[in-house]
Chains A and B, each alone.
Chain A
């Protein structure tokens, strides 16, 4: 036995556990996607049925819109918040803790609370806006086809930007003071520090966090499901919710598996493109 195969023997138990926990569900999903309820092989019937449904393309575009819209604002807002929280001011510790709150609140609690706040009749948002005369009559935030998706994106941004902020803040704090001192000697102002020291130094953090946000976004169900269940008329239906509906509401595990397989492929492509395009172009701004 050479060194390599001895090593293999040592990692084998761990590999077996991993295989059971990861490979088995993946393989089983693949198997489900090409069989019917009784387990008979049906080829691509499930894929055809899912692709033929009107909701599928709509859900796909909604997913891109929801994930893309959320991430842009999460990253921009999160980074801005981090830069702000990195400054010296009185009560910084308290503000830092408060900023984290949305991230700490359980998703389902936050979603339900927001759903009531945006409710047409009982919601505090309509109450305050009509009271202050900003809008003449209550707006159906969650029932109007043009406002519902932006509202959900806003809630999702609110929920996750603190995570970006805290990660970027950690990155900012590891920047050596020499850099700032050198810049100040050269007469750099605050904005020049932001764009030439802070952002380049935390670039790798932002790239990694964004990747996480993409993966979480593509898998997110809680907020939308708890607030609109994908409605009205599928305006906020995203693919993960469609999969959930097929499997757990319609008990059609085979079609749900087929959709999962396709969604997995799309997600994989998106993640690979992202890594290729962003994560592996090192040092251009250093």
Chain B
């Protein structure tokens, strides 16, 4: 009798531990910012598919890459996971997720750069549903106080530098850049400057490091000079995107790059700030650029119920549902016409989308960006000048590219 009880308990524990799903069950991991909207969509999906039960598990973005990777490696993964576009290639190359070409419909309706991220070996390994790029958020009041016209924000690099110089007075920094915290934040903010200047970190064929070429060096110098010339906060080396937002809210930073997700919290925490949004300035004779970010769905290879997982992902990929779920913009053009994307403060962010580019697909991409990020920090620390630091980064990156 006692033994039987024990056996039942042991089985229950094993099932709990391994997250066994019964036929018809789909577990979906989605980040906390999606929770409310995801619950509504799940209710809708279950109504349309009464034989499938969706179990929603809420994740937090801090430490999420590690958590997802551990789940994928352990062989006991959920059926559907929301991941950032840039992570998908690593999963595909390590054979951790299923191809989803059969789930994707209306390929032409998607922003091409979003699909680029999810493609490897000419197969599609994730379905993008959310896309976003940065623009520059600025404090119109600070512009006025400095004698600048808030209706005519800077368009070119030179104009941005001049504006930052005028704005920086006393405790106020003209233009905040990141140089610490989450490494991805600095890639997101500095890489577009390299792109719009015609450079890149690595060549398109993934064979050569380009980060010490003149176009990239000039862009990195442009970016880091804001700190060197004291137009960015003294704490730049420990600031990531969140820190910059806090400094903007505290009115010690007049302008910084970010996405539309920052607007709500700025409005809430400091309603006095008159928020302006401008496109990211570009070199005088060139076009602007931005890094396209966002989220996709992947189906782990070890998912117990891939059939229903694909059903759910297919449902979530419908334009209407993408438009409802996304925190920023949907990956499908047809969903963009929904009323919630017509708020005037979003206009500039929407204008930036066509300039959005995907980061290169390389299996060592994270290590490559780490080498580049270390280089940026060496410059900010004053250890090395821009050319020397980028030469060192290029050497590190080349070694990574030369690995088989």
Contact = CB atoms under 8 A, between A and B. Distances in A.
Contacts of A232: 179-180, 237, 377, 380-381
Contact of A140 (B73, B234, B375, B396): B234
Contact of A249 (B65, B180, B246): B65
Interface of A: 36-38, 42, 45, 49, 52-55, 119-122, 138, 140, 142-143, 145, 228-229, 231-235, 245-246, 248-253
A42 B403 CA distance: 12
Contacts of B311: none
B101 interface: no
Interface in B364-384: 364, 366-367, 370, 374-375, 377-378, 380-381, 383
Contacts of A55: 374
B354 to A, nearest CB: 31
Interface in B344-395: 363-364, 366-367, 370, 374-375, 377-378, 380-381, 383, 392, 395
Contact of A45 (B65, B247, B375, B404): B404
Given A49-B399, A233-B381, A252-B367, 16 more contacts: A37-B94, A42-B404, A53-B396, A54-B392, A119-B238, A120-B235, A121-B247, A121-B252, A140-B238, A142-B237, A143-B380, A145-B383, A229-B181, A231-B377, A246-B367, A251-B366
B393 to A, nearest CB: 10
A143 B367 contact: no
B374 A234 contact: yes
13 contacts: A36-B404, A120-B234, A121-B233, A122-B246, A228-B238, A233-B375, A233-B377, A233-B381, A235-B381, A249-B366, A249-B370, A251-B69, A251-B90
A120 B377 CA distance: 16
A54 B235 CA distance: 26
Contacts of A138: 234
A250 B404 contact: no
B52 interface: no
A54 B65 CA distance: 25
Contacts, number: 89
B94 A251 contact: yes
B66 interface: yes
A52 B397 CA distance: 12
A46 to B, nearest CB: 9
Contact of A145 (B180, B238, B381, B399): B381
Taking chain A's interface residues, is the majority helix, strand, or loop, or is none over half, making it mixed? loop
Given A232-B377, A248-B69, A53 B238 contact: no
Contact of A121 (B235, B364, B370): B235
Q: Which of A38, A42, A229, A233 is packed against the most chain B CB atoms within 10 Å?
A: A233
Nearest to B90: A251
Nearest to A36: B404
Q: Which of A38, A138, A231, A235 is packed against the most chain B CB atoms within 10 Å?
A: A231
B183 interface: yes
A231 B69 contact: no
Contacts of A235: 381
B49 interface: no
Contact of A233 (B90, B93, B374): B374
Contacts of B95: 38
Contacts of A120: 233-235, 238
A285 B103 CA distance: 76
B345 to A, nearest CB: 27
Contacts of B246: 122
A112 to B, nearest CB: 11
Interface in B250-299: 252
Nearest to A115: B238
B375 to A, nearest CB: 8
B396 A54 contact: yes
A252 B180 contact: no
Contacts of A49: 399, 403
B238 A142 contact: yes
B396 to A, nearest CB: 6
B237 A143 contact: yes
Contacts of A231: 180, 237, 374, 377
A252 to B, nearest CB: 7
Contacts of B366: 249-251
A119 B233 CA distance: 12
Contacts of B247: 121
Q: Which of A120, A232, A246, A251 is packed against the most chain B CB atoms within 10 Å?
A: A251
Contacts of B403: 45, 49
Q: Which of B93, B237, B399 is packed against the most chain A CB atoms within 10 Å?
A: B237
